[in-house]
Structure 1
Amino acid sequence: MELNDLTPAEARVRRAFATGEAVDFRAARGEDATGGGTWGPERTVRAGVLRALLLAGPQQDGETAALNLSGARITGPLELQYATVDHPVRLRHCHFDEVPRLYAARLREVNLSESVLPGLVAHAVRVDGVLRLTRTRFGGMVRLGGAEVTGSLYLEGAEIDAPDAEGPVLQLNQAVLGADLWAPGLRTRGQVRISGASVAGRLTLRDADLDAGDGTALDAQGLSVGSGVTATCLRARGRLDFQGARVPGTLDLAHAHLSCPGGTALRASSCVIGELWLFRPGSVEGALRLRRSQIDMLTLAPEMVPDEVYLGDLTYTALLPHVPAQQRLPMLERDGDGYLPYAYEQLTAAYRRSGDDDAARLVQLAKQRRHRRTLPWYARAWGHLQDATVGYGFRPLRACGWLLSLLAVGSVVYGLRHPPPLKPAESPDFNPVFYTLDLLLPVISFGQENAFAPEGWYQTLSYFLILMGWILATTVVAGVTRTVSRQ
């Protein structure tokens, strides 16, 4: 486009371009660009004029040419596909009538802050510097898939409202950012896709509001960040999907409200994460999937655990906050994959590392009881017996209680009525306590059992004591063996 036959507004922009001087058409500094479609010719600039300036505009020796424009209505499409632009582009507080097209362009700094656009097409764009979309409002899709930004991408306070879009409303899949993705307060209506993206610094979604209904609100599969993800106080309607993500620092979802009823609220499967934070005030409505992930420190408040979780092959070093085992065990009971021994072993190891051996034993006991429900009836019967007598070896004092109770019963009964001796001339003096011990302890003999022969129901009692002695001995040995093997 030839830079002639310009309107007064366009001529003013052309004169300022050579020196990078700012041109501000706003009537007031706080003016809202939403109503820019009604702005008159005194502040209207054709997109073709801007394109011509960026590609072949006048330059002045000793000055840095730049497009620095505020408060303008930009008509027509800004077509910069495959173009190389060596000048900063600052189009702030502007109203675009049509979608800018920057596909595969190479640009310097780009600033569209607080502007209003019907969308943005910028696949595979390269920005040598920063890309600022601060408080920018989009009425359509923002396509930045495969973009490369050597600095940071700023989306704080941006709004993307395109619920009827065919595809994600914000596309940053496979993007490469040399610094941060800074998006606190981002508002979207539709899916945000950052799958496969690489962020050298930090991803910040603090106070963001992502609404995808019952779909995927944030697709971050395969995301790689150099630092961490801050999503404190995030509100998400739809799935958060971090499957396969690499977050060496913290994935901070503290105070976040995640809602996907009937679906998956958070999927962080097959991830490598330094720290995952999920605690109140916040909520998780929907399933929590952490299968096959490796997490150094998992901060998960018991009240944040939803009714459905998937923890298969989840590995964590520390589990916070430190609460009694009774508050953690329901999480394992809710696992949608059923009984998973590894989940109980992980929880046991976490308690042992914190020095809480009592809690660790309680988790192991709960594991045996859960396992018992998967066995046939005869094995369940044996399990109930081990549980009642010695708590599967984790309650050894319980066996002593049974032994002392049976010893007391036998001692009283046989003390009141001595069984007759088999050989009166050779029999030792009768002692009801040691006689009962002889019946109860299968491998120890005090010489009483073989010297006396009870009759009637006293004989039945002796058979019962012998049987209980063998049962106690067997369950104690089985329990102790299991305990030793766990150590």
Structure 2
Amino acid sequence: MSQTTDLTPPEERIWRAFPRGESVDFRAAENEDPALGDTWGAERTVRASVLRALLLKSPREDGEIPALKIKGARITGILDLKYATIDAAVRLSHCHFDGVPDMYGAQLRQLNLSKSVLPGLTSAALRVEGVLRMTGCRMRGPVRLGGVQITGALFMERTEFTAPDDSEPVLQLNQATIGDDLWAPEMRAHGQVRLTGASVAGRINLQDTEFIVPDGTALDAQNLNVGGHVRARCLRAQGRVELRGSRISGRLDLLHAHLSHPGDTALRASSCVIGELWLRRGDRIEGALNLRRSHIEILTLEPEMLPDQVFLSNLRYTVLAPHEPAERRLPMLERDGEPYDPHGYEQLMAAYRHVGDDDAARLVQLAKQRRRRTTLIWYGRLWGYVQDATVGYGFRPLRAAVWLLSLMAIGSIAYGLDHPRPVKADEAPDFNPVFYTLDLLLPIINFGQESAFAPAGWHQWLSYALIITGWILATTIVAGVTRTVSRQ
């Protein structure tokens, strides 16, 4: 029985409209729900095999541009366009599909499935010369678009992706090539979305999008390449957001985002190259944040969003915003679960120096020395405590002056109340408790007092204490000054 001679009335309407590119609308009302399409009668039911035959035969009329434009139809069977080359535009909006369309390896001029309900879509290696539009669709099974090539844009705003099980991603766009934008605000995905190795020449819009895989990877976008911005404001992700190895030339905008994957990694953007990363004004990240080995020109990061675990080893950035006191930035380095890594402190110090905040840079250097101290053997830690208490590892030089003045005051008072006896009474100069104390404290200065007088008893023990303290202070001051000069 020929499909072109045994057409039902709705199929005849479509067949007559196709050569002139006219639209056939079967809807009883504009706001009807295509999810109820399995209850629609024969008056709006179309066989997928008839649509296939129509697209392959592509009847034409002189002076007209053919196109398949259908609204509100129930399409039965499987629309099999595998490896087909279709020159006409295909628009099947507000439709209900009983079977999963198969467009593997097909070449289409344009495909529009807006606001339709489908049990899935098999279209890997599909080539679309114009725009692929799935706006407002409800996909009840896996959508396989791996390796798709779209010269224009891909539209998936307000699209819902679900699947009967979680054995595979609900949306596969791995290795896809999109010549313009990927537009998917308010998209809902109850299952994994895979964008691994995809290339988008324009922008990606994921504003108000929701990804839900509570115990796994919700968005797998490893090695994603984006020529413009990724707008993901108010994004909600239950499960890991995986961006490892991605390159985003513009801005990755995660303002007001909610990222949740407790007990595991919530956001991994390691080994990435990103122009700007915005993490601010959102909820506190539930799960670890991993930015290892990434290169980010401008990192906008609010301390309130940081989780308990942050991995920043070998992260490079030029600007860190907003400008915060060092005391608010240092905890993120202390939350790194890895062993002591000086690079994180050096990077933060460089960011403060970049904006001219030398005081904050010195605080970071001091924190770095204190963190390093925890990795040393016991006598190294002891010497570190001495340097910290006396001169703050060279970043608190006024402490040395305070120590010297305090010890000089103690010695001067003690020796002023009870003079030590002279070594040679007839040759000794007049005793001066201040300069005698300075002779004991400063090992490289000699006022002639120390050699002329010989303390005894508690005088002697005090002199030993002042001499030892003086050497410690002198050594720590030299080490601190040397460290400070070398940093400059």
Q: Is the 8 A contact 2:142 2:170 kept in 1?
A: yes
- How many Å apart are 1:165 and its aligned residue? 3.8
- For 1:124 and 1:57, locate their aligned partners in 2 and report how far apart those are by CA, in whole Å: 23
Letter in 2 for 1:185: E
The aligned residue for residue 70 of structure 2 is 69
Query: Which secondary structure does the structure 2 equivalent of 1:18 belong to?
Result: helix
Deviation of residue 58 (structure 1)? 2.0
SS, match of residue 449 in structure 1: coil
Q: Which amino acid aligns with 2:174?
A: N
Q: After superposition, what is the alpha-carbon deviation per residue over 1:225-255, rounded to whole angstroms, capped at 9, x for unaligned?
A: 1112111000001110100000011011111
Match of 2:106 in 1: 105
Mapped partners of 2:220, 2:405: distance in 1: 63
Cα distance in 2 for partners of 1:282, 1:54 equals 50
- 2:348 corresponds to: 347
In 2, are the aligned partners of 1:223 and 1:244 still within 8 Å (CA)? Answer: yes
SS at match of 1:426: coil
- Structure 1 equivalent of residue 421 of structure 2: 420
Report if the CA contact (8 A) 2:140-2:164 is conserved.
no
Which runs of 5 or more residues in structure 1 are unaligned?
Answer: none
Residue of structure 1 equivalent to 2:138: 137
Q: Is the 8 A contact 1:191 1:219 kept in 2?
A: yes
Instruction: Give the partner amino acid of 1:151.
Output: G
Please list every run of at least 4 consecutive aligned residues from structure 1 whose deviation after the TM superposition is greater than 3 angstroms. Answer: none
Which residue of structure 2 aligns with residue 250 of structure 1? 251
Correspondence list, 1:250-399, <5 A: 250-399=251-400
After superposing the two structures, state which structure 1 stretch, 290-299 or 448-457, moved more: 448-457
The residue type paired with residue 20 of structure 1 is G
The equivalent residue for 1:483 is: 484
Report the residue type matching 2:463 in the other structure: S
Change (3 A) 1:165 1:425: closer
The aligned runs of 1:50-129 (5 Å cut-off) are: 50-129=51-130
One-letter code of the match for 1:343? G
Alignment of 1:214-233 (within 5 A): 214-233=215-234
Measure how far apart 1:20 and its partner are. Answer: 0.5
User: What is the CA–CA distance in structure 2 between the aligned matches of 1:458 and 1:336, rounded to whole Å?
Assistant: 51
Q: Does 1:46 align with 2:56?
A: no
Aligned twin of 1:148: 149
CA RMSD in angstroms, aligned pairs only = 0.9
Residues 183, 246 of structure 1: alpha-carbon distance in 2 compared, 3 angstrom cutoff: same
Deviations 1:403-444 (A, max 9, x none): 000000011111111222222222211111111111100000
Q: How far is the alpha carbon of 1:163 from its aligned partner? A: 5.4
Given that residues 163 and 189 in structure 1 are in contact (C-alpha distance below 8 angstroms), is that contact kept between their aligned partners in structure 2?
no
Counterpart CA distance in 1 for 2:487 and 2:236 is 43
Contact 1:120-1:143 at 8 Å conserved across structures: yes
Alignment partners' CA distance in 2, 1:130 and 1:276: 29
Equivalent pairs counted in the alignment come to 487
**Equivalent residue letter for 2:206:** L
**Percent of counterpart pairs with the same letter?**
67
The letter for the 1-side match of 2:350 is A
Distance 1:412 1:361 in 2: 36
CA distance in 2, matches of 1:169, 1:205: 16
Gaps of 5+ in 2: none
Indicate yes or no: 2:443 matched with 1:442: yes
- Counterpart Cα distance in 2 of 1:277 and 1:122: 34
* Paired amino acid for 2:319: A
The one-letter code of the counterpart of 1:439 is: L
* 1:97–1:118 Cα contact (<8 Å) kept: yes
Q: After the TM superposition, which of the residue ranges 353-362 and 417-426 deviates more from structure 2?
A: 417-426
